[in-house]
Amino acid sequence: MSINLICSSVLFFVYFFIIANAETSNPQNSVKQGGLTGRYMRTRNGRQISAYLGIPYAKPPIGNLRFRPPVPADPWSGTLNATEPGSACAQGAVIYATPYQGDENCLFLNLYTPQLHKSERRSYAVMVYIHGGGFALDTGNGYGPDYLLDYDVILVTFNYRLSALGFMTTGDENLPANNGLKDQSLAIKWVHENVGAFGGDPKRITLFGESSGGVSVHYHMFSPLTKGLFHAAISQSGTLFSITSIVDPKALISNSKRLSEYVGCPTENHAKMVECLRSVDARNISEAVSIFAEWDSDPVMIFMPTIETNHRGAFLPEDPVNILKSGKYANVPWISGMNSEEGVYRAAYLFTREDLLRDLNQNFSRVMAITLNDKDPEFDRFGKQIRSFYFGNKAIDNSTVVNLAYLYSDIHFVSAIHLAVQLHLKYSNQPVYHYVFSHQGRNSFSELFGTPPFIYGTSHLDDLMYLFPFESSFGNTPLSQGDRHYSNLLCTMWTNFAKRCDPTPDTDIIISSRWEPVKTRNLEYLNIGGGLHTASNAYPKRIQFWERLNRIRNLNIREEL
């Protein structure tokens, strides 16, 4: 064998070894805290990406750090194994009898990035997703990169403290409010400071979230803690003007003391109260929240965000409307919208509970007062108006199930989103894009709340299956061809917005028409379903009903318009 042939063979095997090793070894990176070892994943279209999972962005909020604002994570020695996600935050026993799960040591984030070769100098737009769950449930771990990472963006998800552990307060520095939202702010700050190491552009960070995650995104637009850390925002099915988005500070303090008494802690001295609460098992605190349930899981607005006293470190130092009017908010482009039949998930659940459905029929006003958290002793007159508007003289049964879905849609989503878009149109000089997602796909999350087949429209949560992989929730049933089209459509518009603050900068085979921002009080919106088409004034009669009713109930936020 000639020397040349031997050399060629050696070089071939060396080359083969390098290539094989590059494909099988784990990706490496470094952030301010230390080194990271991640792992490779593949997207829906087969693209290889890098995943760094379970990165601590804050110290564990345990022991003396329980009920305190988050503290940045310490540096670590050596290289952190970032191949598996961290624990979900402690949660459960609140909504639909969810069992306790998770852990207090939960302040982790996950970062997914396209493979960036050393010779490349690309800078990717960054999308930070905030999970929903009523500020009481869920984790960022379930929102994978399989779809969005086909569109040249970086995706970040994270956990934050929930329910009582994240939102109890004494109204003073002993137990400051909004610690769950402060966790979110610290995670976003971590992304802003470190994403450049992964090829991300810290000047192009977009926050997006669904349900209470969408509410959270909206909150960050009003918080001094997060201002300047992101350039665009997307709120899916949630704004901070919903009744389930903000709690009166006095009511929140009262709820916190009631829970403290229930677990055996004193309440007269706030310092001693919090000291005692720090010694109580996290599971006992989480499960104690169930004492507030008056009708199934209602009222859900127990431990939620609130307006804080104006002190250093406050997340929300004053009323959001005042912040908006004064111009002290993050004036960034915003997408806000909803699914066409949001309340179907709630209707589906109620139709599995004959006891609740019977009680709703017989004691409608009492149930509505609990749902709306309205303590007015004369609420019955409002309850009668609500029942007449949605059901007339009919019973709440199979013939009026869609009406029940509309009722819960309007209570929790429609009227609040409409109001938020109107307020931003009046006070912001940045574009506001409004939408209604109406595509009814092969699967619906309403099936998971009710008895299949229970699909009466596009339910709350249904938009998520077009942005994230949720096939496993439906027996590994893949998206249909039509569903795949809407998945490509949503992913394209959302990532366009992250990159260029415009969801439809160009039209093509996927995006058939331009999506224009809202320009008038008619609130023009894009209907995403049956193609793309522009309309205005979504659900006018239902919105007008709640505007009139809320004026009578002395909820006068409409006077700001």
Q: Write b or e for each residue in 66-89: b if 16 or more Cβ atoms lie within 10 A of its Cβ, otherwise e.
A: bbbbbeebeeeeeebebbebbbbb
Q: Is 342 a catalytic residue?
A: yes
The residues with which 210 forms a beta bridge, in sequence order, are: 236
CA distances from 482 to 16, 197, 356, 437, 463 (A): 42, 38, 36, 14, 14
Answer yes or no: are the C-beta atoms of 238 and 212 closer than 8 Å. Answer: yes
- Give one DSSP letter per residue of 328-351, joined into a string: -S----EEEEEETTTTHHHHHHHT
The catalytic residue among 87, 163, 185, 211 is 211
Q: Are strands 532-536 and 28-31 parallel, antiparallel or unpaired?
A: unpaired
Q: Is 460 a catalytic residue?
A: yes
Distance CA 182, CA 58 (A): 11
The catalytic residue among 163, 342, 444, 487 is 342
Answer yes or no: are the C-beta atoms of 86 and 56 closer than 8 Å. Answer: yes
Q: Which two tokens stand for residue 77?
A: 């020695």
Distance CA 198, CA 128 (A): 14
Contact residues for 211 (Cβ-Cβ < 8 A; gap 6+): 132, 133, 134, 236, 237, 238, 460, 461
Q: Is 471 a catalytic residue?
A: no
Q: Quick check: bond before 145 cis, omega within 30?
A: no
The strand order across the sheet containing 334-339 reads 39-42, 48-56, 108-114, 153-158, 124-130, 200-210, 232-236, 334-339, 432-437, 524-528, 532-536
> Tell me, what amino acid is at 354?
E
The catalytic residue among 341, 412, 460, 487 is 460
Closest C-alpha among 497, 500, 504, 556 to residue 533 = 504
Q: Report angle CA 225, 227, 228 to the nearest 5 degrees.
A: 130
Distance CA 513, CA 495 (A): 16
Cα-Cα-Cα-Cα dihedral sign, residues 427, 430, 431, 433: negative
Residues assigned a catalytic role: 211, 342, 460
